[in-house]
Chains A and B, each alone.
Chain A
Amino acid sequence: MAQIRVEALDKSFADFHAVKAASFTVEDGQFLCLLGPSGCGKTTTLRMIAGLELPTAGTIRLDGEDVTMNRASARDIAFVFQLFALYPHMNVRRNIGFPLKCEGIGAAEADWRVVEVARILRISHLLDRPVSGLAGGDRQRVALGRAIVRKPKCFLMDEPLGALDTEMREAMIHELRALHDRLGATTVYVTHDQLEAMAMADMIAVMNNGVVEQIASPRDIYDRPASLFVADFIGSPPMNFLPFRGSLQAGAQAVRLGGRDVTVPAAREALPESDLVLGVRPEHVRFSDRGVLRGEVYGSEYLGTTQIVTVTTRYGALKARSPASVSFRTGENVGLDFRPDTLSIFDKTSGRAVRTVLHEGGTHG
């Protein structure tokens, strides 16, 4: 197993800048998710680590060794494709054993390893089946089997659960993470599904338009988004944004919002008068008659234990998560308040989060 170090990686296609100066490190044994909307460059980044694409600039190091320009076959990594790429002309046993054939491993040893891998993945009974008749989850396991049988330095996975139905997906999320823990394998996992990323990853790298916006633990990504994009992309429903104009002094503990003071985590940097955005997660909105903001209930979505209440305010529609037991009438006038210790402030022009005391918890969050 190995550490993967990506430094200032750049990739341009003919007239499209797919990845812009991406840098991150995946420590030995860590599970990193590359998360982002489609077209954000996450798959291209993964393919460059794999050696399926060559970067325009930048370096990739595996355990310190510069492999940027090495052929895929010389990198000793395993790749799980979205559509599994199981060879249709081979049965399960030969599919799993295929990587071993090329390493010149003896037939007896190879056989034993295939059987062992099949046992770990609980597909022993399928070994002599053709791959064409397998169910989605089993195909996925065969693809994983082909990846782990060689004991590579790291695993790269490109939306491996994308082709599965919801139920199978849930099960595979836990299986994948358990497998990772068991093998201690360094893994880079590409997905556009934040729930998958949150459930599995040690670290998440959120990408947008070819740029890595934030790399942090799932908790930090959620609680301390580094940019408007991350705040908007993560969370369902996403964070509420209240635009306002104002200045900020280092140490300030409140911002002026519509003539009222809103308590925020103490700022750690000063900003001149500019367009700012206050970010509030729906679960941090409280209903209170003495709140800083008033609005009209537009409707609510019932989710079982909680409900999402949409309130029309002078800042637009705001979503609040509230216990399902409370009932709201459409059109009802309500007051809103925010939990002060969890608010984020963004600079609207750059999209960057303003440093506050919230960030000092750091990645230990």
Chain B
Amino acid sequence: MSIANTAHSVVEPSRNTRRLAGSLVVLYAVITMIPLVWIVLTSFKSPDDAISYPPKVFFTPSLEGFCNLFTTRSRQTPEFIRTLGPPQGLCDDIARSRNMVVAGPSNYVPRFVNSLIIAFGSTVLAVALGTLSAYGFSRFRVPLKDDLLFFILSTRMMPPIAVAIPIYLMYRTIGLSDTRLGMILLYTSVNVSLAVWLLKGFIDEIPREYEEAAMIDGYTRFQAFVKVVLPQATTGIAATAIFCLIFAWNEYAFAVLLTSGNAQTAPPFIPIIIGEGGQDWPAVAAGTTLFLVPIVVFTVLLRKHLLRGITFGAVRK
């Protein structure tokens, strides 16, 4: 630390350099934000506005996309619609203006719940297993340690889709296909290798003396692990959890192949919306917008751990 305080070999950036750097960052942020902003805007457009050319940036907001996302509708004749009572709620009103009536809720909510259960379930499992194995690899003399670690990593070396067919057949045989448990186990097994490697790095950085001190003070190794190692590994655990969650949340290929009804997650469901009654872009955009929310919330909640977590290794105490 003292070196950083006393050495002045690095020139202080000039005002212009700062401005340039600042504007580059802003530019980059704007470029990455455009698709997100576009999706959110589209979700509030009417179907006509969504496909108008040139694209509309200013438009009258409409909740039709969200209504179409959450409901299924059936087309009726205007005569029939006139025989019905007053519209039940906003969505029914919008539907009737298009000569349709709301027939019932769509499958979006159950698919979204599936996504939540599967993604968070597999994240918790992968991080828990990953933390324990990483601690073991970091602290004990494990026979064939390097080979085992390489083997764990090697499971990430092929594209996951390469094993999709065998897994599909296996899952069908043992009755795990289209079950939440099956998807949780699958995502856990993919994520646990990432978790072990990331967390081993973090745990290696925690000096052994902390546990040794705790063990001399009368605690068992497991108690020392829980009371001393875990609190210091929170940064790493948070970062790892976010990486695992993002993978499990976004995963598409396995979800398409292995789920159809019960355990289908949101990613394979959202594209299906396109097909129902014309290309309903606002509904797709609405589904996508809501799909972003859990990751954003989770990341914001863990953000204070994240900065050091993602730059791990670069900053040492």
- A-to-B contact residues, CB < 8 Å: 50-52, 71-73, 75, 77-79, 81, 83, 85, 87-89, 98-99, 102-103, 146, 150
Q: Which of B209, B215, B228 contacts A83, CB < 8 Å?
A: B209
Cα distance A102–B220 in the bound complex, in angstroms: 10
Residues of B at the A interface (CB closer than 8 Å) are: 207, 209-210, 212-220, 223, 228, 231-232
Whether B218 lies near A85 (C-beta < 8 A) is no
Q: Is B209 within 8 A of A102, CB to CB? A: no
A294–B214 Cα gap in the complex (Å)? 61
Would you give the shortest CB distance from B87 to chain A, in whole angstroms? Answer: 57
- On chain A, the residues within 8 Å of B209 by CB distance are 81, 83, 85
Q: A98-B217, A146-B217 are in contact. Are A79 and B231 (CB under 8 A)?
A: no
Residue from B210, B213, B219, B232 in contact with A79 in the complex, judged by beta carbons closer than 8 Å: B213
In the complex, 10 of the A-B residue pairs with CB atoms within 8 angstroms, ordered by the A residue number, are A50-B216, A73-B215, A73-B218, A85-B207, A85-B213, A87-B231, A87-B232, A88-B232, A146-B213, A150-B218
Min CB distance B83 to A, Å, is 69
For residue B210, give the distance in angstroms from its CB to the closest CB of chain A.
5
Query: Lowest 9 A-B CB distances belong to which pairs?
Result: A99-B217, A85-B209, A89-B231, A85-B213, A102-B218, A81-B209, A79-B216, A72-B215, A73-B218
A102 touches B223 (CB 8 A): yes
Residues of B within 8 A of A89 (CB): 231-232
Q: How far is the CB of B71 from chain A (nearest CB, A)?
A: 49
Q: How far is the CA of A85 from the CA of B215 in the complex (A)?
A: 12
B215–A71 CB distance below 8 A: yes
Q: Kindly state the separation between the CA atoms of A99 and B214 in the bound complex, as whole angstroms.
A: 7
CA distance A65 to B115 in the complex (A): 59
- Complex Cα spacing A189 to B119, Å: 52
- How near does chain B come to A21, taking the closest CB pair, in angstroms? 25
Contact B232 A73 (CB under 8 A): no
By beta carbon, the residue of chain A nearest B210 is A85
**In the complex, A103 Cα to B215 Cα: how many Å?**
12
Q: Which residues of B contact A98 (CB under 8 A)?
A: 214, 217
How far, in angstroms, from A52 to B211 measured CA to CA in the complex?
A: 10
Give the residues in chain A near B223, CB-CB below 8 Å.
102
Cβ of A330 to closest chain B Cβ, rounded Å: 38
Q: Quote the shortest CB–CB distance from A22 to chain B (angstroms).
A: 20
| Neighbouring A residues of B215 by C-beta, 8 Å | 52, 71-73
Q: How far is the CA of A51 from the CA of B220 in the complex (A)?
A: 13
Chain A residues within an 8 Å CB radius of B207: 83, 85
Whether B231 lies near A103 (C-beta < 8 A) is no
- Give the CA-CA distance A159 to B136 in the complex, in Å: 28
